[in-house]
Amino acid sequence: MTLEEYDKRLRELSDEEFQKFNHDFGGGQKTVEERLREFTNNPIHERRICQLLGLKTEGEKLTEATIKSSGAASESAHSARLSLFLLAAAVIVALAPFAWNVYLKYHQYDDLKATILGASPIRGTLCTADIIFTNNGNRQCSIAVVNLIESYTVKTDATGPQKAEGIIPFSNQPSFTVKPNDVISKQFIISGKGNIRECGFTGLKEGEEREWRLGFCVVDSNGKYHIIKVPVFWITVGEKDMRVIKYPFVVKLLPSPSVKDTSLALPLIRPPDR
């Protein structure tokens, strides 16, 4: 409480309120001027005077100012944190499209399937195969070639069973492309007078096996080769007829392990009923 505040407050009192103040404070009935001089000479009575008049001491004012200052600093710090958070959020929103494109660039993969509807020797051709290619990915997938692969298992007395493999290209289908979200149906034909069913037993001995596989060589979006071979029918000497897989049969061409070039072979994908 300053002297000016004390003076102003005393003069705001009515006569009755001033007489009551004199009575409560003590020291007899004094004038305003006498009370002011008394306070100037004895400032230790500040707290008592403030209690009677509803004023605040200088110490109380300082405490309040300190609390307010601390609150303002805390609010300022909170505002700064909020501003920083909003800035970070704005940066994230602004960079989201770019980040998503980067993610797609390095994490997207081709998803390519081949559904084999049928592959069999038909009179008038060596073999036909009906296949649907489905691209479920977001990139272009190139089919380099689809071949029929003839595999032999020949028994020899000296070295035991020997395996050999030969490629019979389909005569009517060059390489082609399955574009994003495409579904393409293809029929592959190997021309010839006879067919595999009729000539498959030729040259085989008892217990020897001859197998025909559809061979898919796929080039993915990154230019890497993938080779997948699927047995579709086979002959074992001693059995009455050729065996075939159950159709339709779905083959996942991509994603799959890549190879360095098209001359390399991967393990066979064996159908469940093989």
Joined tokens for residue 191: 């021309």
56-102, pLDDT tens digit by residue?
Answer: 887 777 777 776 766 665 566 667 677 777 777 777 777 767 665 65
Contacts of residue 228, defined as CB under 8 A and 6 or more positions apart, other chains included, come to 215, 216, 218, 251, 253, 256, 266, 269
190-216, pLDDT tens digit by residue?
Answer: 776 666 666 655 666 777 778 888 888
| 245/248 Cα distance (integer angstroms) | 9
Say which amino acid occupies 50.
C
In this prediction, residues 163-172 reach a mean pLDDT of 76
| 124/195 Cα distance (integer angstroms) | 7
Q: In degrees, to the nearest 5, what angle opens at C-alpha 202 toward C-alphas 197 and 203?
A: 150
pLDDT of residue 109: 61
pLDDT of residue 274: 43
pLDDT of residue 17: 85
More confident residue, 262 or 168: 168
Joined tokens for residue 31: 């004038």
| 99/38 Cα distance (integer angstroms) | 77
- How large is the angle between the packed helices 46-53 and 3-12, nearest 10 degrees? 30
pLDDT of residue 50: 83
| 42/36 Cα distance (integer angstroms) | 10
221-239, pLDDT tens digit by residue?
Answer: 778 888 888 888 887 777 7
| 138/190 Cα distance (integer angstroms) | 32
20-66, pLDDT tens digit by residue?
Answer: 888 887 878 788 888 788 877 777 778 878 888 888 887 777 777 77
Joined tokens for residue 9: 């407050």
Max Cα distance, the chain (Å): 142
pLDDT of residue 201: 57
| 46/62 Cα distance (integer angstroms) | 15
Element (H, E) at 236: strand 225-236
Cβ–Cβ under 8 Å, residues 226 and 251: no
Q: In degrees, to the nearest 5, what angle opens at C-alpha 247 toward C-alphas 235 and 242?
A: 15
